[in-house]
Each structure stands twice: as C-alpha cells, then as structure tokens.
C-alpha cells in the first residue's frame, strides 16, 4: 500500500455521550486532569475527553459517534495509524507483531491437540500478519475484518483471505456460528464502542474449543518513554481509543461478555490474554471496587500527568 494523502480540515467529527459498562448508569465520572484542567487534546491535535469512572475504567466521554468513527476508519485512519506505512516500522514490523502474538499462543497452548482450521483477525489491515500464519500453516482458512477499502482489496487478492466485513459490529457474525478456532484481537478491543455486545457476538463465532487472543494498551502502565513525542499523553490519548483498560477493567469486561482469561501477561505497556468462552450460568457479579482499581488508576494518573 502507498501512503494516502490526508486532509483533516474537512473532517468534522460529531460527539455523543457514552457510559461505563462497569458502573451503574447513575455513576458520575471525573475528567482526566492536566495542570488541574480537563485534558482535551490528544494525538494529532484532536479533541477528546478522557474520564475515569468509580470502577477505575478510563474512557472517552463524550466521544465520536459511530458514524463519525466509520467515516474516519474508512477515509483517514490508514494515513495516520497504519504501521505498515510508517518508515520506521513497515511490513516487517507488522509481521513482528504477529510473530509475538503467535509465540505467546504457542507457548501457552498445545496446538497439536487442537484442531486449528480457521483463524479470524479483526483489524488486520492488508493482512501481512495473516500471510505469516499462512506460511506456517498453508492449509489454514484465513478471515479478516478491515475498514480500509485498499487493505481489504490486498487482503483478498494477495493473501487469499476471506473478508467478512468492514465493521466488527456488522451482521456478518450471524452466518459464522461456531466457525473460528482462533480469533485475534490485537489492539482492537479498546476501539470497540460497545465492548460487551461486540465481544459477545464474537464469542458466538468461536468453535467449541476455540479461543481469542486479546491485547490492549495498559492504562496502569502507559507508554511514557517516546522517541517522537515530548509529552506522553499526546501520544497515549487518541480519539480512536474509546476505552483505556487496565488488567482489572479488561478482565471484568470480558467476564460480562462471557469470556474468561486462561493465560495472560503484562509486558511493554500492554495487557494480553488468551480467553475462552464460559458457561453463561457461571457468570459472576463483578465488584471491581473490591480491588481498589479506582485508587490505583488515580495514583498512576496523578503521578504521571503534570
């Protein structure tokens, strides 16, 4: 893919109120503060409004509408965020990410005892990572969900993957019950506007022995050492990230969607986990206040923000 031209002057986002799925609807959030004022400008100078709820969940509220996000992902996202187009990262960097994903999966799971026939990678871009998996397992069936029209074209023509949809929240999942042995969600869950609904729909498409690999940026350990930003929050907070999870808030979210981590790690400002579906009858009430996530998260914010 060649780097597209971008002109954000014509992009006029619309905002809407959001809510925390880990708190009562009546819960009151407080803004993330910088110099005792609400932080309101994030990456690429875009307006955003990060807040923290009593559960300790950090999210954007208000945030862009779903329609605004769809327009942005289709027309602007690649130019700003596609790692394969960045001179210091490129396709090799995308493949390195998939190698990391696969090394974690193969370290924790004995794939020889599992029948792996199909893999879905959501937010897969042009599929350079899927191409790496195809080289390892030539008979595997590959599927992708990707917003970029150019990336979808490459995904089909060069990688031979089946493109299911441009939107993870589309109607595609109703045709793929129990279909996928592996679903890869690397830095995708933080983009979901309704994570319980999206993850629940994805869960229905898992095969009986299937699992998901999930990784998100770690809000308890934000990346503060940067090469090309003086102020870490201008890199960390971005309009496309609707949620900023810690391990605790991520796992509570997964539980509400009927998913349970069986392995996890916290490395390089990232929380990752391998999750499986759990019986709905085994759902537990989530009381995230018991582990004091709010106080822990506030201490991180107060320590790292001026």
Residue 3 lies in a domain: no
Q: Give tens-digit pLDDT for 256-270.
A: 999 999 999 999 999
Range of the domain at 220: 8-304
Residue 226 lies in a domain: yes
pLDDT band at 86 (very low <50, low <70, confident <90, very high): low
Residue 280 lies in a domain: yes
DSSP label at residue 4: P
CA torsion sign, 95 to 98 to 103 to 109? negative
Residue 205 lies in a domain: yes
DSSP label at residue 221: S
In this prediction, residue 302 carries a pLDDT of 97
Cβ atoms of 199 and 260 within 8 Å: the answer is no
In this prediction, residue 224 carries a pLDDT of 95
The yes-or-no verdict on residue 281 having pLDDT over 90 is no
Helix 128-136 to helix 90-108 angle (10° resolution) is 50
Residue 258 lies in a domain: yes
* Start-end of H helices in 137-184: 149-154
Residue 126 lies in a domain: yes
What CATH number is attached to the domain comprising 157?
A: 3.40.50.150
Q: Which two tokens stand for residue 200?
A: 């629940």
Q: Give tens-digit pLDDT for 148-168.
A: 888 898 889 989 999 999 999
In this prediction, residue 213 carries a pLDDT of 98
When divided into structural domains, the chain yields a total of: 1
In this prediction, residue 301 carries a pLDDT of 98
- Average pLDDT over the chain, rounded to whole? 91
54 by DSSP, 3-state: which?
coil
Cα–Cα distance, 195 to 243 (Å, whole number): 9
The yes-or-no verdict on residue 77 having pLDDT over 80 is yes
Q: 180 in the Ramachandran plot: left (φ > 0), alpha (ψ -120 to 50) or beta?
A: beta
Q: Which of 65-69, 173-177, 225-229, 244-248 has the lowest mean pLDDT?
A: 225-229
Q: Give tens-digit pLDDT for 33-51.
A: 999 999 999 999 999 999 9
pLDDT band at 285 (very low <50, low <70, confident <90, very high): low
């Amino acid at each position: 893919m060649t780097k597209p031209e971008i002109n954000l002057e014509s992009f006029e986002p619309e905002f809407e109120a959001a809510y925390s799925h880990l708190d009562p609807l009546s819960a009151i959030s407080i803004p993330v503060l910088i110099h005792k004022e609400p932080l309101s400008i994030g990456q690429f100078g875009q307006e955003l409004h990060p807040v923290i709820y009593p559960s300790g969940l950090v999210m954007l509220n208000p945030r862009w509408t779903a329609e605004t996000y769809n327009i942005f992902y289709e027309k602007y996202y690649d130019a700003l965020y596609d790692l394969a187009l960045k001179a210091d990262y490129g396709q090799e960097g995308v493949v390195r990410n998939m190698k990391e994903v696969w090394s974690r999966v193969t370290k924790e799971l004995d794939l020889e005892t599992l029948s792996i026939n199909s893999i879905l990678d959501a937010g897969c871009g042009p599929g350079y990572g899927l191409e790496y998996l195809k080289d390892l397992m030539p008979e595997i069936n590959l599927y992708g969900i990707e917003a970029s029209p150019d990336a979808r074209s490459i995904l089909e023509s060069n990688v031979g993957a089946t493109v299911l949809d441009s939107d993870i929240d589309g109607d595609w999942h109703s045709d793929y019950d129990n279909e996928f042995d592996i679903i890869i969600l690397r830095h995708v869950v933080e983009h979901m506007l309704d994570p319980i609904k999206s993850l629940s729909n994805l869960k229905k498409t898992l095969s009986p022995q299937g699992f998901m690999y999930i990784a998100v940026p770690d809000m308890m350990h934000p990346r503060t050492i940067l090469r090309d930003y003086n102020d870490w929050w201008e890199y960390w907070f971005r309009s496309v990230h609707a949620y900023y999870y810690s391990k605790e808030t991520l796992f509570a979210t997964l539980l509400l969607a009927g998913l349970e981590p069986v392995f996890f790690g916290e490395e390089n400002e990232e929380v990752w986990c391998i999750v499986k579906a759990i019986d709905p009858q085994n759902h537990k009430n989530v009381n995230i206040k018991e582990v004091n996530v709010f106080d822990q998260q506030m201490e991180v914010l107060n320590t790292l923000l001026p």
